[in-house]
A and B are shown apart, each in its own frame.
Chain A
């Protein structure tokens, strides 16, 4: 299972990188979104995907899945959401102010005279 997940994560990273290298601001943000999905899945996979009960003590199971990676991912999801939301509004503002979402056209003129 971990091998399959590793490959899926690799593909997510690959697509995310490709999107981030494109010219459109929106695609870049979509890329960062994909990248954070990949990272979250990576944390989960690295914690081990062995079968076990959900980390709830009421289950009274002999074996639970590892709760620590889940807590880490939960924190990461919230943070990446905050950052993504901020980026989105930033992109929205840039789009409105500059009239383009092509980052090649957003190059500053300073230092490139």
Chain B
């Protein structure tokens, strides 16, 4: 185990220790014990930057199940490192924030930090695993810990609903991703991402390529809340705000983005990938921003905003995949899209994390997150207002904040879609810049709503539970750090990010473009001159301001959309229908009647045996080996058939029992005729005892009710039983006609006396050659006797108690 493995599972180890800290040091907030881990890990991962800059990849393998090719291979390259830094960096800030956010008296802090650390370790495992199965294991652990965190206040119904919904959707995606992983394994024979990438041409030609692609994308889309799987994210806002800031804006929802970026070298050569990723991304962007405007809860606005920004990143990754269709780096105009995706990923984590923390502060200090109740907080919370403004303006894409830079690059990427002339992009390509622009307008509007409805306007003290005041300093530290990053990245994007993080990440996403001697050169400019992107941004600002000011007038368009058709209704309906449907289905065939079950069993018996007889041409009758028919046997056969058939028509229990006895005695006569003296003897004795038992049981019973009627004829029963009889006869005939080997009985005949010193072959077989059968047959009888004794005795005991 290397230090790298230890770093990945360090949060998981600490999670074990957290409850001890919590119990032993009650007066210190447990968060302080947790805080050093993400800071240390951040510092540790920071030291890798110099390596990945030189395109070096650190690989460490720890054997887990080598025979199946499943080993815990940790791999640090540009992409993994970028995510690892995001996870640990924002993780540290979130832990710091949560120390001030969660009260140590009222909350169950040990649970919170255990879940959070589980999540942190799982997320590090997802981004740093080279083995797909290990990655999947960590991937499900993120779903699982996210479920626990969303349901942290489990006494609230809405928390439980949100947790269940996110669990169902993300696990659905996770399982389909597992399917994709297995398909990839079938195609390449390896679970290692590195090896799979080297075999991408094999995969492309394979018939399983498209199923694998779709399965993997389902996993990515559900995790990253892409349309139509975005519905779990707004409901996940019932989690404590630090969780929303960490999981549902900066890290977990980007696991899907990570997966798409990581597997781009495998799948992106195909046009379907480009269409699906870019198409779903751009629509999610539009839908998320459009839906965010109508929300009245601050966290819901942020949730839909996250959905839309994830769509933005996803669409950029899709468009960036087009760069793989041109060789080399020179004049490759689509690399800008991938660059923008990574850049925006970082920017989004900074501003969205700070916005969530700001909303948490507002919630914490006023007692509500409803924008209809809030207003005029600028005088009470000036620092919070400044933080919110910077974050929101960056989200809207305004200078001088980092969102502006990535938004410009986003527009550049979308405009270049127009130049694509493959995969029939020439017809619908115009949709991309248009939708992107409209979505940006909506993004601008909700960003303004977020800031101005909360902090300006009329102060409504009567609607608030508490008197608002500025947050404590500790709570402000984390958003201040994030917001400073927002500004610093704007002014120094190249010296901070380009070479250190973005270029190495590009090497991981588009490895085939890098050849010896070429390098990705990422230059992010604040000022491009007067180009179409700038005019688009100006248009967004102008139209956005206009629409924001006239918001009350056009708000009603949201009511036009019928409530019945919303995806949440559809999801709830589907869950409901799945429950009632399966209940009804089970109730319809599990009706509690033994007869029905027997009918199912016998019908299955008939159908399966008759069809296999028919399909295998197994039925034949060989008359060569038959024994001759004797007159006594015919008489006995007639007798047994008549006796058995009369049971059907017998009216009283007594006659049924006697007829069964008649059948039994006839069977023993058969044994006599067929030269089986021991059988005949046993059969006679046992039949006598059985009949006596039957008589004891039913003849001496008090007549509870006069129910001694003839059996009622039922067509189903008749059909089923005739079927059973015919199938048994047919199988018996064909089995007898298909004997391939002589019996082994010659051995018994020869050795019964020589080796076992007996003359009765049947008895010697029973006690000598095959004595074990007899031993356990004795056990069966003993158990039956004890069981009968118990049944009678225990009843008496209970009677006496009563």
- Chain A residues within 8 Å of B, Cβ to Cβ: 1-24, 26-27, 29-30, 33-34, 37-38, 40-42, 44-58, 64-68, 70-71, 73-75, 77-79, 81-86, 88-93, 95-97, 99-104, 107-108, 111-112
Contact = CB atoms under 8 A, between A and B. Distances in A.
B653 interface: yes
B675 A65 contact: yes
A64 B759 CA distance: 12
A38 B749 CA distance: 27
B736 A26 contact: no
Main secondary structure of the interface of B (DSSP, over half): helix
Contact of A2 (B676, B736, B749, B795): B736
B17 interface: no
A98 B213 CA distance: 61
- Of B694, B705, B749, B795, most A-chain CB atoms within 10 Å: B694
Given A65-B674, A86-B788, 18 more contacts: A2-B733, A4-B637, A6-B729, A9-B732, A17-B724, A24-B711, A30-B656, A54-B675, A55-B762, A64-B761, A67-B748, A74-B678, A74-B682, A89-B697, A93-B795, A95-B698, A95-B701, A104-B595
B787 interface: yes
B144 to A, nearest CB: 31
Given A1-B627, A3-B733, A6-B736, A68 B744 contact: yes
Interface of B: 587, 590-595, 598-599, 602, 621, 625-630, 633-634, 637, 640-641, 644-645, 647-648, 653, 656-657, 660, 663-664, 667, 670-671, 674-679, 682-683, 686, 689-690, 693-694, 697-698, 701, 704-705, 707, 711-712, 714, 716-718, 720-722, 724-726, 728-729, 732-733, 735-736, 743-745, 748-749, 752-753, 758-762, 765-766, 770, 773-774, 777, 780-781, 783-785, 787-788, 791-792, 795
Contacts of B749: 55, 57, 64, 67
A13 B729 CA distance: 9
B592 A48 contact: no
Given A46-B732, A46-B736, A74-B766, A34 B663 contact: yes
Q: Which 9 A-B pairs have the closest CB atoms?
A: A14-B725, A10-B729, A82-B784, A17-B721, A67-B761, A55-B761, A18-B721, A57-B759, A71-B765
A81 B690 contact: yes
A12 to B, nearest CB: 6
28 contacts: A2-B732, A6-B732, A6-B736, A10-B732, A14-B725, A15-B644, A18-B721, A19-B711, A21-B720, A27-B711, A30-B647, A30-B657, A33-B664, A34-B663, A37-B663, A37-B667, A42-B732, A46-B732, A49-B674, A55-B749, A57-B761, A68-B765, A82-B781, A82-B785, A85-B689, A85-B690, A92-B697, A112-B592
Contact of B743 (A48, A56, A75): A48
